[in-house]
Amino acid sequence: MLKVDGLYKNYGSFRAVSDLSFHVEKGEVFGFVGSNGAGKSTTIRIAAGLLKATRGTIYVNGFDVSKEPSKAKRFIGYVPDFFGVYEDLKTTEYMNFYCGVHKVPVAQRREVIDNLLELVNLSDKKDFYVDALSRGMKQRLCLARALIHNPEILIMDEPASGLDPRARVEFRDIVKTLQNMGKTIIISSHILLELAEMCTTIGIIEKGVLVTKGTVSEIQKQLSHLSRLKLKVIGDMEIVINMLKEKPKVSDITKGHGYIECSFDGNDLEKAELLKELVNREVEVFHFEETAGNLESIFMHLTKEDEKNDD
């Protein structure tokens, strides 16, 4: 459905995307995750036909976006990371304008607009000026706009950022509905957890490079050797932290309120040996726990690894 093929994008001498390749199958909900500046928007804007790739290309339903842009654009609904609304229009007028842009026959427009506003829960806001809508409503209006030409693929750039929890839940429900309608959906975010529940597949991008891609559980499995340890000690935590820093299998040490957390790349026997060593060195450990490898720590680890490679 959407195939990114050896994509490069340079802004002057700065390389924002580097040899990026991945595939999103029909019906997938693909979470495109990366920290700020990772290259998500750049990739998405190339897919939407708004930016030229330096090398490589993106195929939309088989159409090369750089060679047959107008064909490719028909399959894509794009929701940017900004609102882009004409604030001097009413909700229905705003929708009517984009119906015109997409050449929806005048006779069908009413039905199209009613259905879409219903889908995004804005039916009761038809005569409101766009200006008067809340952030979450503008976001949903933008989504309705992107669906006017009934595209098979919907690409949303950081749609959940800036939404309150309630708006997020509403947004998630709409994504679910769209998924059930058979749409292929790509959602970017810099927060992995935000997407984990919504998405069937996750791709993690860092500094323009795809770090990993797979289903949520695959990603967890892929990193199962990596566990997160939580320990509480009596006495100076800094001394313990310095001891842990010497261990090659220990990484990402963080200090919490009265506890230390770290990632540990090793099996159970090795964990036991670590505990034994701490005790032998007269650290008074009163709590030693393996917390489930949660997605956020995996994400932190993956993106951190990248920084290390860079130095």
Partner 1 sequence: MMINPILERELKTRMRTWKTPILILVYLTMLGFVVAIAFLAEFTNYSYGISGFDPTVVTGIYIAISMFQLGLLLFIIPVFTATSITGERERQTFDLLLCTDISPWSIILGKMSAALSFVFLLIVAALPFTGVILLFGGVTLFDMFKVMLFYMATAIMISSIGMFCTTHFKKNISSIIVSYVIYGASLAIPAILIAVAAIISEMSYSSGGSAIQQFMENYAYEIMLFTFGSNPFYGATDLLVSGSFVDNIFNIMGNGSTGGTSILGKITPWMANVIYYAIISTIALLLSRRKLTKLK
Q: Which residues bind partner 1 (CB under 8 A)?
A: 45, 48-52, 69-70, 73-74, 76, 78, 80, 82-89, 93, 97-103, 105-106, 145, 149
For the CB of residue 34, give the shortest distance to ligand ADP in the complex, in Å.
5
* Total interface residues for ligand ADP by CB under 6 A: 11
Q: What type of residue sits at position 303?
A: T
For the CB of residue 40, give the shortest distance to ligand ADP in the complex, in Å.
3
The neighbouring-strand residues paired with 226 are 265
49 binds, among ligand ADP, partner 1, Mg ion, none (CB under 5 to 8 A by kind): partner 1
For Mg ion, the closer of residues 112 and 210 by Cβ is: 210
Our CA angle for 185, 207, 83, nearest 5°, is: 45
Contacting residue, 16, 48, 192, 199, with ligand ADP by CB under 6 A: 16
For the CB of residue 173, give the shortest distance to partner 1 in the complex, in Å.
24
Cα distances (angstroms) measured from residue 270 to each of 236, 248, 255, 264, 278: 24, 12, 22, 9, 12
34 binds, among ligand ADP, partner 1, Mg ion, none (CB under 5 to 8 A by kind): ligand ADP
Q: For the segment 35-54, give every residue that binds ligand ADP (CB under 6 A).
A: 36-42
285 binds, among Mg ion, partner 1, ligand ADP, none (CB under 5 to 8 A by kind): none
For ligand ADP, the closer of residues 80 and 293 by Cβ is: 80
Half-sphere exposure of 199 (CA within 13 A, CB side): 29
36 binds, among ligand ADP, partner 1, Mg ion, none (CB under 5 to 8 A by kind): ligand ADP
For ligand ADP, which stretch binds (CB under 6 A), given 30-38, 159-167, 191-199, 210-218? 30-38
Interacting residues of 193 by C-beta distance below 8 A, sequence separation 6+: 295, 296
For the CB of residue 47, give the shortest distance to Mg ion in the complex, in Å.
13
For Mg ion, the closer of residues 203 and 293 by Cβ is: 203
Contacting residue, 11, 25, 62, 218, with ligand ADP by CB under 6 A: 11
98 binds, among Mg ion, ligand ADP, partner 1, none (CB under 5 to 8 A by kind): partner 1
The full 3-state SS of 147-214, as one line of letters, equals CCCCCCEEEECCCCCCCCHHHHHHHHHHHHHHHHCCCEEEEEECCHHHHHCCCCEEEEEECCEEEEEE
> What does the buried/exposed string (b/e) look like for 69-92 if buried means 16 or more CB atoms within 10 Å of the residue's CB?
eeebbbbbbbbbbeeebeeeebbb
The distance of Cα 279 from the centroid of its chain, to the nearest Å, equals 42
Q: What type of residue sits at position 174?
A: I
For the CB of residue 195, give the shortest distance to ligand ADP in the complex, in Å.
14
For partner 1, the closer of residues 109 and 213 by Cβ is: 109
